[in-house]
Chains A and B, each alone.
Chain A
């Protein structure tokens, strides 16, 4: 009888241990697959891009078996919270608003945002500095915001939904613009090209990537934006109670940065070193 009890106990205990190891060794990473060059899909539907390659690298450093899954952008954070996957690597900027719902690893890359218009638009060639930081806007930045407010009054500006770009336009920093939101950046690009949008706001690289691939005369205008509503770099989004995973991501990013992996992969996909 005693032996039987012991056997059952040990089987159960080992199952428990195996189960635990199994769970912590395998993680799922969610990405959008529609925001090149951060993450996108090739012609055969395979996920590619800076973050996909970086994810494999980080997983190697963490010694974990990773699966990368696709998730629509507007459901990204809810899907993480509902445990559809364990980490987000989807060009997601670290912002105070998102940090209320999830935690972020340290940033691994930084992007600047920019307005884009079609060549020949009246919004082309705005008199603003090359870039402004909104964390503590100086005189030049405030003046640039005023120039933008005047230029964008009554104009339709298109953004992807639930992004820092939408937050910025909603914040009222550039006055009352007519904001139109889209499910994907592809759709923003399509409507910018068709003329339904007077301007669009997104990561500057998203527009240059589109202009290059489609051959459409999309040009950047106004200053590049960083800081403030635009957050502080792009990091890995992780559930708040998943502190172990957060730690391993942070140390993996440290290692990858030290070995030059992040800047190598970033240069490959962006054409310049966007790592941080």
Chain B
């Protein structure tokens, strides 16, 4: 065990954690937005809209995240026509390719989480609102959404943690995130165990923080008291 290497690599890994957190937060914001839209589409009565939303979540939940990143980064990069369009400005950058892949992936899972949360709302609650003469719009925003958020918090917390670990795949498309820098240090020191233990520790600490934040939110939005 090379303790000295563990100590000297810690600050380098910590500064790489900023990239990891950036990737995580930006893709979660986009993903939540995508997830909400597709959850609402899933609840639509129109069979085409419904099937389209189902197809999206089926596709992105049914394929590995690594494959999705590779298709978006290396796959789309091979299409010559695409390189002459404005889309290439975004797709040229590994950072945005990773964000697109992560956002679409977490969006698919989030849409399922939110859909099931909406569906577990007891019809009685909505009917109670209607009988008080509250409009459908207000029922949706003021009653259904807050309840759905509370219902989905535990599952969504899991999704955040899964996504946080998923960002480690960004290193496969040249990004220097926590895993990327860990691999870089290993490539010059040839000591994988020490460096990956430190990197793993940082991931574990991030999980600890996210887990507790979600717990706090759960308590805040709990129904009782």
B211 on interface, CB distance cutoff 8 Å = no
Q: Show the binding face of B for A, using Cβ within 8 Å.
A: 74, 77-78, 83, 92, 94, 172, 174, 183-184, 186-188, 190-192
Q: Show the binding face of A for B, using Cβ within 8 Å.
A: 74-75, 77-78, 81, 97-98, 101-102, 158, 161-162, 166, 180-183, 187, 190-191, 194-196
Residues of chain A lying within 8 A (CB to CB) of residue B183: 74, 161
Given contacts A183-B172, A194-B83, A195-B92, contact A78 B74 (CB under 8 A): no
Closest to A77 in B: B190
**Least Cβ–Cβ distance between B169 and chain A, in angstroms:** 12
Residues of chain A lying within 8 A (CB to CB) of residue B190: 77-78, 81, 98, 101-102
In the complex, what distance in Å separates the CA atom of A183 from the CA atom of B173?
9
Per DSSP, are chain B's interface residues mostly helix, strand or loop, or mixed?
Answer: helix
User: Which of A158, A181, A187, A190 has a CB less than 8 Å from the CB of B184?
Assistant: A181
User: Which of B74, B78, B83, B174 has a CB less than 8 Å from the CB of A181?
Assistant: B174
**Least Cβ–Cβ distance between B90 and chain A, in angstroms:** 12
Please tell me if the beta carbons of A196 and B77 are within 8 angstroms of each other in the complex. yes
- A sample of 16 inter-chain contacts (CB < 8 A) reads A74-B187, A75-B192, A78-B192, A97-B188, A98-B190, A101-B190, A102-B190, A161-B183, A161-B184, A162-B188, A180-B174, A181-B184, A190-B78, A194-B83, A196-B92, A196-B94
In the complex, what distance in Å separates the CA atom of A98 from the CA atom of B189?
9
Residues of chain A lying within 8 A (CB to CB) of residue B92: 195-196
Closest to A166 in B: B187
Q: Which 4 A-B pairs have the closest CB atoms?
A: A162-B187, A194-B77, A77-B190, A101-B190
Known pairs A78-B186, A180-B94; list 17 more (Cβ under 8 Å). A78-B190, A78-B192, A101-B190, A102-B190, A158-B174, A161-B183, A162-B186, A162-B187, A180-B174, A182-B174, A183-B172, A190-B74, A190-B78, A194-B77, A195-B92, A196-B92, A196-B94
In the complex, what distance in Å separates the CA atom of A166 from the CA atom of B190?
15
In the complex, what distance in Å separates the CA atom of A182 from the CA atom of B191?
19
Please tell me if the beta carbons of B83 and A195 are within 8 angstroms of each other in the complex. yes
**Least Cβ–Cβ distance between A116 and chain B, in angstroms:** 17
Please tell me if the beta carbons of A194 and B188 are within 8 angstroms of each other in the complex. no
Please tell me if the beta carbons of A191 and B77 are within 8 angstroms of each other in the complex. yes
